[in-house]
């Protein structure tokens, strides 16, 4: 998968607008790309035995193209772009944790959703970041085709790169529809992944404090 700096598209909306873009049809895809994607969806419908011309499916290709553009909008974004100038000089040096951040992503193996919560912490080293930027960074990487393991690492790596903190910790707890509605069909399974950098990796007490706060006292074992 390409890195942030290898994506040529730029974020088409203002990251300070909490409501996000007003129209999911707009510029996540170029018109030619969107038309091609709609035609591919139309062909898929025919291949599975459906009639793309029946009333209920006439607008399905357009809707799917819009949906995929929205669900993969992270390809048009970077961590640097969503954080912007929201880094502020500050002497605070204790842990900052935002927990229970909703995560929605698409498994790259089956294009089925996985979803859950992210717990993100960092140890400031001369700067703090606007709190809303941590969930935004999670979304930059979640709104791509992913596996949970890489998603966890990419969030941690981006925060380490942009914030340059003393340490970063990320835990994801997710349920995967590719395990729930197909395959082994295990409805109550949950996958937990973690990534720790800097002080969180080197110092067991700091790492344990992060995991205790992130998981509410629950063990990861």
The domain segmentation of the chain, as residue ranges, is: 31-71, 82-215
pTM to 2 decimals? 0.85
66 catalytic residue (yes or no) = no
Is-contact 172 116, C-beta < 8 A? yes
161: CB partners within 8 A, 6+ apart: 79
- Active site annotation includes 127: no
Span 68-127, pLDDT tens digits: 999 999 999 999 999 999 999 999 999 999 999 999 999 999 999 999 999 999 999 999
Catalytic-residue membership of 5: no
Domains 31-71 and 82-215 are alike in CATH topology? no
Instruction: Kindly name the residue from 38, 107, 119, 174 that is annotated as catalytic.
Output: 107
- The catalytic residue among 66, 77, 146, 148 is 148
Cross-strand pairs, 216: none
Q: Would residue 7 show up in a list of annotated catalytic residues for this protein?
A: no
Catalytic-residue membership of 108: yes
Q: What is the DSSP string of 120-180?
A: EEEE-SSEEE-TTHHHHHHHHHHSSEE-HHHHHHHHHHHHHHHH--SEEEEEEEEEEHHHH
Q: Is 178 a residue of the active site?
A: yes
CATH of 31-71, one of 3.30.530.20, 3.30.70.260, 1.10.286.10, 3.40.50.150: 1.10.286.10
As a whole number of angstroms, the distance between CA 200 and CA 147 comes to 23
Query: What is the average per-residue pLDDT within 16-43?
Result: 68
Length of the chain: 221
Alpha-carbon distance of 167 to 205, in angstroms, equals: 13
Is 107 assigned a catalytic role?
A: yes
Tokens of 129: 């970041």
CATH architecture under which domain 82-215 falls:
2-Layer Sandwich (3.30)
The average confidence (pLDDT) of the chain is 88
């Amino acid at each position: 998968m390409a890195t942030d700096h290898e994506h040529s598209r730029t974020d088409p909306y203002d990251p300070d607008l909490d409501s996000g873009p007003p129209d999911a049809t707009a510029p996540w895809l170029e018109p030619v790309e969107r038309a091609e994607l709609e035609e591919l969806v139309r062909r898929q419908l025919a291949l599975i035995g459906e009639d793309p011309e029946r009333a209920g499916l006439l607008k399905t290709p357009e809707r799917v193209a819009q949906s995929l553009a929205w669900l993969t909008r992270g390809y048009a974004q970077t961590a640097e772009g969503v954080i912007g100038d929201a880094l502020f000089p500050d002497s605070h040096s204790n842990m900052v944790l935002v927990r229970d951040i909703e995560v929605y992503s698409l498994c790259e193996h089956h294009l089925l959703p996985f979803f859950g919560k992210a717990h993100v912490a960092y140890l400031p080293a001369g700067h703090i970041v606007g709190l809303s930027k941590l969930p935004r960074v999670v979304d930059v990487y979640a709104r791509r085709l992913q596996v949970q393991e890489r998603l966890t690492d990419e969030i941690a790596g981006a925060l380490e790169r942009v914030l340059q903190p003393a340490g970063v910790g990320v835990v994801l707890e997710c349920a995967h529809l590719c395990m729930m509605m197909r395959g082994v069909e295990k409805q109550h399974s949950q996958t937990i992944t973690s990534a720790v950098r800097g002080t969180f990796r080197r110092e067991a007490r700091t790492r344990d404090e992060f995991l205790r706060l992130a998981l509410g006292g629950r063990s990861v074992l």
